[in-house]
Amino acid sequence: STTQSQSHHEIIPHSDSSSSQSSSSKTATNVTTLSASIPDSILNNKNLQNYIKQIPSNYNFEIEKTVWRIQQAEATCVALQMPEGLTMFATMLADIFREFCNVEVFIMGDVTYGACCVDDHIAVALGCDLMVHYAHSCLIPVSSCKMNILYVFVDIQIDLKHLIDTLKHNIPSDKKIAMVSTIQFVSSLRAAKNDVQTYFAEAYIPQAMPLSPGEILGCTSPKLDNKYDYLVYVGDGRFHLESIMIHNPKVPAYRYDPYSKKFTVERYDHEQMYEIRQEAIATAQRTGRKWGIILGTLGRQGSPRILSHLESLLKERNISHIVVLLSEIFPSKLALFKDVDVWIQIACPRLSIDWGYAFDRPLLSPYEAEVALKSTEWKEVYPMDFYSRDGGSWSVNYGTAKKEKTPEERALAKKKLKEKMKLMRKKKKSVSIGEATS
């Protein structure tokens, strides 16, 4: 729920007898790095395939790959983490891995809002040596986790023909569209682009690094060029969609729900949101004698770098502050801290935007805190860049954006890659000849 108007009206999708068939059009196969190396003993295991058949065929849990990864890691204890919408499959997955990998399995039942909630710390404490995190992208790099992590996107196949027909039926062919979705439907998005890009003036899949092309989060989305006539979001719900609507207030938005097959116009009251958030900032500036900084402890939500940055800003201004660790933030909890005038939460920026009005004192996001402390100016477009590599100083990955290479540097890198691939093929060929000789 948000404080903004969520009014929308339904547009009747193009009716086609063939498109009404359940998931008749297949999406592109989810690309995985381990797939090519999975042994036949796993791929052709009839008992394993019988288990897999119990799961809806349009949900790709990449079970064979997971079994192979568990075996490769020689894991003895595995943690499974997934959002509540997939919990219905948790015990079945646990049974499969116990049966075919001979491991102990823990199902992590705490709330999982997104990839920022990867809870490797708890899994390590439980003695697990591998965690499988479902339905979110690799937002937290595997290299920075405390244990082996396998991300399974859970690609969901949808009725691709119905999506394409609906877009063609409702949007004029001379328009330029940008297409986004959550990670579950990214492969469908790419498959649809191959068809619709020949129909529309332009069909574009934007990217906010380090996310995948087309993927958006509730706190992170790409900034579009105003040349695009429409934004098309493929997915259910509005939380992720609102992120890119906030970040692109001048681009009209549509939502295609792959479950209900409804195509709707979506609206967001930007002016009301700006008014509410600017009032919270003004109140913080007016009444803020003692500030509290909340570091989110739900998985990896909290950013120590942002905490250090905000503490420096407060110290420079001689503002008294405390740091509180919380896994979830509720008005009743913060109300217990009677002497804190202003709160900054380093957990999810949307908590301040969507629910800030419910707290009796200002609950600012890191960006809003910087505005209140006059470290940055209020932006004409509210930034949705919390995990973007191009984000501001209030974002998690601030300063990690790679410098764009010159044409000469790109040519040199391409040449080196070709030489490396050539050398690898030569080595592979010499190994094959040696095996044949022996």
Pairwise CA distance, residues 282 & 288, whole Å: 10
Distance CA 215, CA 237 (A): 15
| 16 contacts 162 by C-beta, under 8 angstroms | yes
Q: Is the pLDDT of residue 430 over 90?
A: no
pLDDT digits over 355-375, tens only? 999 999 999 999 999 999 999
Residue 122 identity: I
Q: Kindly tell me if the per-residue pLDDT of 418 is higher than 90.
A: no
Query: What is the pLDDT of the chain when averaged over all its residues?
Result: 88
Element of type H or E holding 295: strand 290-296
At residue 165, the pLDDT reads 97
Side-chain half-sphere of 335: how many Cα atoms within 13 Å?
6
**Which pLDDT score is estimated for 424?**
76
How far is the C-alpha of 89 from the C-alpha of 72, rounded, in Å?
24
pLDDT tens, position by position, 245-269: 999 999 999 999 999 999 999 999 9
The b/e string for 387-425 (b: 16+ C-beta within 10 A; e otherwise) is bbbebbbbbbbbeeeeeeeeeeeeeeeeeeeeeeeeeee
Angle between helices 160-170 and 186-196 (to 10 degrees): 50
Kindly report the number of other CB atoms within 10 A of residue 195's CB atom.
16
Structure confidence by residue, pLDDT tens digits, 127-149 = 999 999 999 988 888 888 899 99
Helix (H) / strand (E) containing 255: strand 253-257
pLDDT confidence of residue 19: 39
Among residues 188, 213, 236, which one has the least CA distance to residue 83? Answer: 236
CA–CA gap between residue 263 and residue 163 (Å, rounded): 9
Provide the strand spans (E) within 109-251: 130-134, 148-152, 155-156, 176-181, 202-204, 230-234
Stated pTM of the model: 0.82
pLDDT digits (tens, 9 = 90+) for 319-330: 999 999 999 999
